[in-house]
């Protein structure tokens, strides 16, 4: 079967790597893809125009499309493909609102009793500032719309909170913020696939959102991940019962059938697991850590979701652990330096995998071409071995002035 993968990051390279192993795939395409994916798939130039890609897929006879990033999902790529009778793994626009609008997600959680931080939403700066005046720091201010992981301010002073609110709300475009109660505790990512009925959680993982060691420095799109994250006792079952099930059932009762991946960002608070955010897709870098441990055929899984047969499929996993270290360009996240030479070594793929993101092939070889450049994934029989292999992989890369965290997995080691 002809399969198309949409996206160009490390997550999509990992999806492409996994899809390429499926005997069900006769030909793999990636739009727009990246140099790493070019070794596994035919790259289709794409500037983000959804109708164009859907028409191309129809003419090419693409039988299944997997969508990596949130942008196209929130813009309605699944709707456009479905309207042409094409099968697509990824939620339709109304369902992708769980990520596209934090205020929609918070209201949904409120309606269905899903545990999350107390909140208020505002669309004008004056009311937001008046409200903040009555609160106390620490407090959290979030841009309600998509912000590539950079729209959240965990404010330690009211001044900082007010500045964040004013920055978002005083621009020329209409905007909305969510002001949220500050929660504390370890964070875990629980991804689940669903066909709108059956829910199958994937192995829990943990991202590292801050740029520097010890969870310091600015927020980023994610600097590394470990999998599986060792959740205690029944916590995963609790998250399934209190979060995933009411979400999928609640959406269904509102006429929205969610098909694809649900990303639940969870904080394990003293009062139980609480949702920090929902996303409508695999996490990046969580996917790079999770997918190498998935034994089940990704295409078989995606087809079961699309066709509403997930109840017939149990997921199988390889034993052991994985650890992903993200290597970013100097200047990331604000002003990444592009065009730096990059050289990847050959290491045994059962131990170390390289997933590319912001890279470009040139006559002189591979160059950096964005902030998030490379995900290095180590695989091992336990977390310690996975981490050791990931860092062996990192040290073998030639990439001057690369930024990466030296302490991935530090909280569970
Ligand atoms: P989000 O994109 O909503 O997951 O937020 C990004 C990061 O901000 C999370 O991974 C947390 O580290 C932090 N964060 C978000 N919401 C809260 C909250 N209510 N309390 C404390 N930290 C939060
Ligand atoms: N790892 C954070 C995200 O994918 O949104």
Q: What integer is the mean pLDDT of 164-188?
A: 92
Distances (CA, A) of 134 to 130, 137, 143, 162, 314: 7, 10, 20, 12, 50
Count the residues in the chain.
413
170 pLDDT tier (thresholds 50, 70, 90): confident
Percent of the chain with pLDDT over 70: 100
Closest ligand relative to 223 C-alpha: 2
pTM: 0.96
Q: What integer is the mean pLDDT of 252-269?
A: 98
Widest CA span in the chain: 61
Residue nearest to atom 11 of ligand 1 (CA): 276
**Residue 276 C-alpha to ligand 1 middle, in angstroms?**
6
Q: What integer is the mean pLDDT of 95-119?
A: 96
**Residue 107 C-alpha to ligand 2 middle, in angstroms?**
21
Q: What's the fold here for domain 2-92?
A: Rossmann fold (3.40.50)
Residues with CB under 6 A from ligand 1: 117, 140, 142, 152, 154, 180-183, 187, 209, 265, 276-277
Domain boundaries, the chain: 2-92, 118-181
Q: In testing the pocket of ligand 1, which one of 100, 140, 161, 284 has its CB within 8 Å of the most ligand atoms?
A: 140
Read off the pLDDT of residues 357-386 as tens digits, 9 standing for 90 and up: 999 999 999 999 999 999 999 999 999 999
Residue nearest to atom 5 of ligand 2 (CA): 283
**Residue 277 C-alpha to ligand 2 middle, in angstroms?**
10
334 exposure class (CB count in 10 Å sphere: 0-12, 13-18, 19+): exposed
**Mean pLDDT estimate for the chain:** 96
Residue nearest to atom 3 of ligand 1 (CA): 277
Closest ligand relative to 119 C-alpha: 1
Closest ligand relative to 188 C-alpha: 1
Q: What integer is the mean pLDDT of 259-271?
A: 98
Read off the pLDDT of residues 382-408 as tens digits, 9 standing for 90 and up: 999 999 999 999 999 999 999 999 999
Q: What integer is the mean pLDDT of 198-206?
A: 98
Q: Is the CB of 207 under 6 A from ligand 2?
A: yes
**Residue 241 C-alpha to ligand 1 middle, in angstroms?**
22
Q: Is 150's pLDDT higher than 80?
A: no
pLDDT at 149: 64
pLDDT at 410: 87
Nearest Cα to Cα of residue 241 among 290, 201, 270, 278: 201
Q: Same CATH topology for 2-92 and 118-181?
A: no
pLDDT at 171: 80
Q: What integer is the mean pLDDT of 244-252?
A: 98
CATH architecture of 118-181: 2-Layer Sandwich (3.30)
> How far is residue 407's CA from residue 254's CA, in Å, rounded to a whole number?
43
pLDDT at 172: 82
Read off the pLDDT of residues 299-313 as tens digits, 9 standing for 90 and up: 999 999 999 999 999
Read off the pLDDT of residues 311-361 as tens digits, 9 standing for 90 and up: 999 999 999 999 999 999 999 999 999 999 999 999 999 999 999 999 999
**Residue 223 C-alpha to ligand 2 middle, in angstroms?**
10
Q: What integer is the mean pLDDT of 178-195?
A: 97
Cis bond upstream, residue 333 (ω within 30): yes
């Amino acid at each position: 079967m002809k399969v198309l993968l949409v996206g160009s990051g490390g997550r999509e390279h990992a999806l492409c790597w996994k899809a390429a192993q499926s005997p069900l795939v006769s030909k793999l395409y990636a739009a727009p893809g990246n140099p790493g994916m070019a070794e596994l798939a035919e790259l289709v130039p794409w500037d983000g125009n959804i109708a164009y890609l859907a028409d191309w897929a129809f003419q090419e006879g693409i039988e299944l499309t997997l969508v990596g990033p949130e942008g196209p999902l929130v813009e309605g790529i699944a709707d456009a493909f479905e309207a042409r009778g094409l099968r697509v793994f990824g939620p339709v626009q109304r369902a992708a609102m769980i990520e596209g609008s934090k205020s929609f997600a918070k209201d949904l959680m409120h309606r269905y009793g899903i545990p999350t931080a107390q909140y208020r939403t505002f669309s004008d700066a004056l009311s937001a500032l008046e409200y903040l005046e009555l609160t106390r720091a620490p407090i959290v201010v979030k841009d309600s719309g998509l912000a590539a992981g950079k729209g959240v301010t965990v404010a330690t002073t009211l001044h900082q909170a007010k500045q964040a609110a004013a920055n978002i709300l005083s621009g020329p475009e209409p905007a909305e913020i969510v002001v949220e109660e500050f929660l504390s505790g370890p964070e875990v990512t629980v991804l689940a696939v669903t066909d709108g009925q059956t829910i199958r959680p994937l192995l829990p993982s943990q991202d590292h959102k801050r740029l520097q060691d010890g969870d310091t420095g600015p927020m980023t799109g994610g600097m590394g991940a470990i999998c599986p994250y060792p959740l205690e006792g029944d916590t995963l079952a609790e998250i399934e019962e209190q979060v995933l099930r009411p979400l999928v059932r609640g959406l269904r009762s509102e006429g929205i059938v969610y098909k694809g991946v649900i990303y639940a960002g969870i904080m394990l608070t003293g009062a139980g697991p609480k949702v920090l955010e929902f996303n409508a897709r695999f996490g990046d870098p969580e996917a790079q850590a999770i997918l190498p441990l998935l034994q089940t055929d990704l295409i078989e899984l995606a087809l079961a979701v699309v066709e509403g047969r997930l109840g017939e499929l149990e997921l199988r996993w390889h034993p052991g652990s994985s650890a992903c270290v993200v290597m970013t360009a100097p200047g990331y996240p604000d002003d990444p330096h592009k065009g730096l030479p990059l050289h990847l070594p050959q290491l045994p793929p059962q131990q170390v995998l390289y997933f590319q993101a912001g890279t470009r092939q040139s006559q002189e070889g591979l160059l950096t071409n964005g902030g998030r450049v490379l995900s290095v994934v180590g695989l091992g029989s336990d977390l310690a071995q996975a981490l050791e292999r990931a860092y062996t992989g990192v040290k073998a890369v030639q990439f001057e002035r690369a930024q990466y965290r030296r302490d991935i997995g530090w909280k569970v080691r």
